[in-house]
Amino acid sequence: MVEVVNNLRTIVIVLSLLCFVAICYWAYSKHAKTGFDEAAQLPLADDDIPASPADKEGMTNG
Percentage of the chain beyond pLDDT 90 is 42
Residue 56 in any domain: the answer is no
Which residues span the domain enclosing 35?
1-42
What are 34-61's pLDDT values in tens digits?
888 999 998 888 766 666 666 656 666 5
**Selected residue with higher pLDDT from 52 and 27:** 27
On whether the CB atoms of residues 43 and 49 are closer than 8 A, the answer is: no
Q: What mean pLDDT do residues 13-31 have? A: 95
Residue 52 in any domain: the answer is no
Q: Is the pLDDT of residue 62 over 60?
A: no
Q: What mean pLDDT do residues 1-26 have? A: 96
Residue 17 in any domain: the answer is yes
Residue 18 in any domain: the answer is yes
Residue 16 in any domain: the answer is yes
CA separation, residue 29 to residues 3, 8, 26, 33, 52 (Å): 39, 31, 5, 7, 39
